[in-house]
Chains A and B, each alone.
Chain A
Amino acid sequence: MTNMAEDLKAEAPFAGEGLAPAPEDRRRTQRDSPRERKKRTSDAVIYGVLVVLVAALMVPFIWMVSSSLKENNQVLTVPIQWIPTEFVWSNYTDIWTRIPMMGYLQNSLYLAVIITCLQVLTGSLAAYGFSKVRFPGRDVLFLAYIGTIAVPWQAYMVPQYIMMQNLGLTNSFNALILLQAFGAFGVFLMRQYYMTIPDELCEAARIDGLSEYGIWARVILPLSKPALASLALLTFVNTWNDYMGPFIYLTSNRLWTVQLGLRSFVGQFDAEYAMIMTGSVISVIPILVIFLVGQRYFIQGIATSGMKG
């Protein structure tokens, strides 16, 4: 799996590949121009196919944005209006008073930030223990971690719920933080990365007199920035998008996350098509921003672990 990550790293999306042909290529171009011309036409065909395909796949997003700028009765029209006849920007100002959107966004942000910090911190610590310190029972313990990744979460959500109920933590953020901040996934992802860091580095630091904690903080952490970024981004997005956790644990409206708030708005006002789309756009924008900033790390994280949280 790590090989894949290396390969993807070499090929960062958005990099302008194919801008300048390599010298050998150019030599071949001069000698073999019909072939080059054929390649150019096939490139044009591929571009055409890709543009049509991506446009088709983006229809739901295009439709979402376009509908969010319409009046309700303009959303489901025959024929479809891809561009609103009149842009109803007021949807974007009204939604804050129609539902407590700001509160929902704050709740989502709060949960996502706390869970991400705890997951990254405890995950990278544990991963160091599992990859760089040798002690009896370590591998058995790690197997237990891996084993639970394979168990569907639905299979143990009821015992978790009973436990939280007995601790009096249902209908509180603490339940979600406790359940999601210590995931085995983060440990697994970080360990995969630490395994690629040569042990000799730690050995050298040990000889220089650094303690194990010093090695973790001053050697391993700086080296594992890409993996930390991957884990942080994946955890943040997963928490932001999580529906089932908040759905099970958060009953009072003031604790709701964006996802719950949006879902409840749809349930209450199912004919408010435009406003529903406005809410959807607002719920997706933070993810879009984070994704555009850190897309390299998302893709590496996925190729490294092949798993989502």
Chain B
Amino acid sequence: MTTETLPPVAPAPAPAHSRGNRKQARRNTLIGWTFILPNFLGFLAFTLIPVTAAFALSFMEWTSFTAPRWVGLENFQRMFQSDTFWVALRNTVVYALGHVPLTMALALVLALLLNRKLKGIGFFRVAIFFPYITSLVAVAVVWNMLFSPDNGPINQFLNVIGIAETPGWTSSSDWAMPAVIITSVWRDMGYYMILYLAGLQAIPTELYEAAEVDGASPWQRFWNVTIPSLRPTTFFVVVMLTVSSFKVFDLIVVMTNGGPGRATTVLSQLIYQEGIGEGKFGYSSAISLVLFVIVLTVTVLQFKIQQRRER
């Protein structure tokens, strides 16, 4: 009787009453594990254990020269008093604030432009997507030259359109971050365009037809049909973009290496410098815990907002 009142967990596995069933269940477990095991061993050793260790390490003092020692919140105290930490955190937030809205807006515009049946449209889609899979070093190197303060093509272009005082881009502490953001937007927007295209193509055409019959203008159709129907895609795009912005690392390492000065130093880079560069394992893990908590908070917040909207 008691088993009847329990909510059904999963429909398929038959209740293991008879010995045959139990044997079958044990056999299934064994078979299931043999499939998972080759991947799981690697995953356990090189992902799951390090992830867990990172949490523990942030409460320890451990450098390449000393034995690990439990120190509680000391790492965090030191971090919150460190000027470099706050600079890196600020830079990371600035990068995210530039990268997320710009990439999203451009990806949506491109997807709207490319979401039509025209001859050769596939070529345009593929061309816009290609920067995303181009190697980062090549991208950074080319853009660094395009941004070259003297005689760089970008500054020449600015001269032509009448801007005489051209920025110093990667050699100026005010303009290095915008240069990095422009490069990353250029690189990433094709990827998010693909996601938006998929979202646009999932909107039933009947919705547009109905709106047209009701006399809605193209603009009204965009605001009242396209944008609301894209909401799940937009949510996904925002989460992905925010998470990737907070993780930004290689682009900055190759393009500016955090400079000039500390103008483009970001959190991931600080983790690398402190942890692998200087061997302060405990301290760098504390910074990575902060990074993780930020990413997690942003994701959960966006989930909550999305859920409220859906209701």
State the CA gap A176–B271 with chains docked (Å). Answer: 19
State the CA gap A125–B37 with chains docked (Å). Answer: 9
Q: Is A144 an interface residue (CB 8 A)?
A: yes
Contact residues of B: prevailing secondary structure: helix
Q: Is A27 an interface residue (CB 8 A)?
A: no
State the CA gap A151–B296 with chains docked (Å). Answer: 8
* Cβ-defined contact, A125 with B28, below 8 A: no
Among A28-36, A85-93, A301-309, the stretch that binds chain B is A301-309
Interface residues of B in 31-55 (CB under 8 A from A): 31-36, 38-43, 45-51, 53-54
Q: Which of B121, B130, B136, B271 contacts A17 (CB 8 A)?
A: B121
CB distance from B122 to the nearest CB of A (A): 3
Q: Is B29 an interface residue (CB 8 A)?
A: yes
* Cβ-defined contact, A287 with B135, below 8 A: yes
Residue of B nearest to A67 (CB): B145
* Cβ-defined contact, A60 with B143, below 8 A: yes
Q: Which of B35, B141, B201 contacts A266 (CB 8 A)?
A: B141
Q: Is B128 an interface residue (CB 8 A)?
A: yes
Q: Is A23 an interface residue (CB 8 A)?
A: no
State the CA gap A46–B268 with chains docked (Å). Answer: 41
Residue of A nearest to B36 (CB): A129
Q: Is A204 an interface residue (CB 8 A)?
A: no
List B contacts of A136 (CB < 8 A): 25, 29
Given contacts A63-B146, A64-B142, A152-B295, are A145 and B275 in contact (CB under 8 A)?
no
Q: Which of A187, A216, A280 contacts B141 (CB 8 A)?
A: A280
Q: Which of A47, A121, A130, A154 contacts B268 (CB 8 A)?
A: A154
Given contacts A138-B32, A243-B137, are A150 and B295 in contact (CB under 8 A)?
yes
* Cβ-defined contact, B201 with A60, below 8 A: no
Q: Is B67 an interface residue (CB 8 A)?
A: no
List A contacts of B250 (CB < 8 A): 243-244, 247
CB distance from A24 to the nearest CB of B (A): 13
* Cβ-defined contact, A8 with B288, below 8 A: no
Q: Is A77 an interface residue (CB 8 A)?
A: yes
* Cβ-defined contact, A298 with B133, below 8 A: yes
* Cβ-defined contact, B197 with A216, below 8 A: no
Among B73-81, B110-118, B168-176, B220-228, the stretch that binds chain A is B110-118
Q: Which of A13, A77, A129, A182 contacts B126 (CB 8 A)?
A: A13
List A contacts of B201 (CB < 8 A): 4, 7-8, 11
* Cβ-defined contact, B133 with A13, below 8 A: no
* Cβ-defined contact, A241 with B50, below 8 A: no
* Cβ-defined contact, B126 with A283, below 8 A: no
Interface residues of B in 236-259 (CB under 8 A from A): 236, 240, 243, 246-247, 249-250, 253-254
Q: Is A223 an interface residue (CB 8 A)?
A: no
Residue of B nearest to A248 (CB): B276
Q: Is A99 an interface residue (CB 8 A)?
A: no
Residue of A nearest to B12 (CB): A134
Interface string of B120-144 (1 = CB under 8 A from A): 1111111111110111111101110
* Cβ-defined contact, A159 with B151, below 8 A: no
CB distance from A140 to the nearest CB of B (A): 12
* Cβ-defined contact, B47 with A134, below 8 A: no
State the CA gap A250–B146 with chains docked (Å). Answer: 30
List B contacts of A47 (CB < 8 A): 118
Interface residues on B, range: 35 or more
Residue of B nearest to A139 (CB): B10
Q: Which of B46, B127, B130 has the most chain A CB within a 10 Å cutoff?
A: B46
Residue of A nearest to B135 (CB): A241
Q: Is A75 an interface residue (CB 8 A)?
A: yes
List A contacts of B48 (CB < 8 A): 144, 148
* Cβ-defined contact, B151 with A76, below 8 A: yes
CB distance from A36 to the nearest CB of B (A): 14
Given contacts A133-B28, A159-B54, A247-B253, are A60 and B285 in contact (CB under 8 A)?
no
Q: Is A207 an interface residue (CB 8 A)?
A: no
CB distance from A6 to the nearest CB of B (A): 9
* Cβ-defined contact, A63 with B142, below 8 A: yes
Q: Is B198 an interface residue (CB 8 A)?
A: yes
Q: Which of A135, A240, A276 has the most chain B CB within a 10 Å cutoff?
A: A135
* Cβ-defined contact, A263 with B145, below 8 A: no
Q: Is B212 an interface residue (CB 8 A)?
A: no
State the CA gap A79–B36 with chains docked (Å). Answer: 60
* Cβ-defined contact, A126 with B50, below 8 A: no
Residue of B nearest to A270 (CB): B144
State the CA gap A263–B250 with chains docked (Å). Answer: 12
Interface residues of A in 257-293 (CB under 8 A from B): 258-259, 262-263, 266, 273, 276-277, 280-281, 283-284, 287-288, 291
| 5 sample A-B contacts, Cβ–Cβ < 8 Å, listed by A number | A60-B146, A134-B28, A154-B271, A182-B39, A299-B129
Which residues of chain B have a CB within 8 Å of any CB of chain A? 10, 12-13, 25, 28-29, 31-36, 38-43, 45-51, 53-54, 57, 110, 113-114, 116-131, 133-139, 141-143, 145-146, 148, 150-153, 156, 186, 191, 194-195, 197-199, 201-202, 236, 240, 243, 246-247, 249-250, 253-254, 267-268, 271-272, 275-276, 281, 284-285, 288-289, 291-292, 295-296, 299
9 closest Cβ pairs, A-B complex? A182-B42, A13-B122, A129-B35, A4-B198, A158-B275, A122-B39, A14-B122, A159-B50, A126-B39
Which residues of chain A have a CB within 8 Å of any CB of chain B? 3-5, 7-8, 11-19, 43, 46-47, 49-50, 53-54, 57-61, 63-64, 67, 75-80, 121-123, 125-126, 128-130, 133-136, 138, 141, 144-145, 148, 150-163, 178-179, 181-184, 186-187, 212, 216, 237, 240-241, 243-244, 247-248, 258-259, 262-263, 266, 273, 276-277, 280-281, 283-284, 287-288, 291, 295, 298-299, 302-303, 306-308
